[in-house]
Structure 1
Amino acid sequence: MRGPERFWEDDLRNVGEVYIASGGDFIVAHIGPQLAAMGGLKPVDDDVAELKRMRVDPAFQRRGLGRRLLRELESRAVALGFKWIKLDTTKIQVGAQRVYETAGYVRRREGMLHGYAVIFYEKRLAGQD
């Protein structure tokens, strides 16, 4: 595989270093023995974390798990001292867009990223002046 695609999963092969040791966090949610959801916070700078790898298995979607995971990641971002979260999602992920917009994320711009049409969002975290 050529291009950025071959590196897309490098962070998942080393979650401890990429997310935890860098000052972020990563959550894995299981329902019984099955991986149901995951998401991570990756520091951009002292004030900003980027939300990465936010996923809910299709078998567990539309049950509020994505919203719960997002709230927990935001809570952890506040505890880690971040003031903002930024993220991107593809334009075809309408369900993800709804989750982010309902949670108060603001669309900042649209663009292309690795050949995909994406929407860039950000949110100022509550209580972080």
Structure 2
Amino acid sequence: MSQDEVIFRRFESGDADDVWHLHRSASEAVGVRGPERFWEDDLRNVGEVYIASGGDFIVAHIGPQLAAMGGLKPVDDDVAELKRMRVDPAFQRRGLGRRLLRELESRAVALGFKWIKLDTTKIQVGAQRVYETAGYVRRREGMLHGYAVIFYEKRLAGQD
């Protein structure tokens, strides 16, 4: 995968079906499937939940295919929660997750956030590695939707 093959851009309404399918295929590939409806309502309203609220939602295309995605959901003026970061299983282990994370962090800084927090399941060891090597600190562990999860946070560079 060469650098110029990946195009990052903001979510548009026409992306909704592809985003839904990527979420399901990437989640199922790692053995995570929450209760439908409540757990996934945000993906039915990406524009409202992420963008209109003052956050963002980024999609990454390789050619015509949606290869990765992720959202920033405002918690308050200083903190954004990183949500729904997914990489298509066919494009994993090529650095795309790290590139997407950098893109989302850059958007968070541009939007004025000082911190990013997130959670990931304990079974998603690859995701844990991506977050930890990018400077995210484990804050606690707990349960969400029946899964053991790790909660992380990171102070964004250049933010007072």
The 5-angstrom pairing of residues 38-77 of structure 1 reads: 38-77=69-108
Deviation at 1:4, TM superposition (A): 5.1
Aligned residues: 129
The 10-residue stretch of structure 1 (67-76 or 28-37) with the greater mean CA deviation from structure 2? 28-37
Shift of 1:3: 9.1
Deviations 1:84-108 (A, max 9, x none): 0000000000000000000000000
In the alignment, the residues of structure 2 paired with residue 16 and residue 24 of structure 1 have an alpha-carbon distance, to the nearest angstrom, of 10
Give the distance between the partners of 2:36 and 2:114, measured in 1 at CA. Answer: 30
What is the 5 A alignment of 1:81-92? 81-92=112-123
Shift of 1:7: 1.7
Q: Distance in 1 between matches of 2:33 and 2:86?
A: 24
Q: Which residue of 1 aligns with 2:144?
A: 113
Query: Which blocks of at least 5 consecutive residues in structure 1 are unaligned?
Result: none
Q: For 2:36, what is the secondary structure of its paired residue?
A: helix
Measured at CA, do residues 65 and 3 of structure 1 come closer, stay the same or move farther in structure 2, by a change above 3 Å? closer
> Relative to total residues, which structure has the larger strand share, 1 or 2?
1
Q: Equivalent residue of 1:107, what SS?
A: strand
TM-superposition CA deviations, 1:27-50 (whole Å, max 9, x none): 011111211000000000000000
Q: State the identity as a percent.
A: 99
Change (3 A) 1:125 1:11: same
Gaps of 5+ in 2: 1-31
SS at match of 1:4: coil
The secondary structure found in structure 2 opposite 1:89 is strand
RMSD, aligned CA: 2.1
User: How big is the shift at 1:5?
Assistant: 3.3
Relative to the length of structure 2, the TM-score reads: 0.77
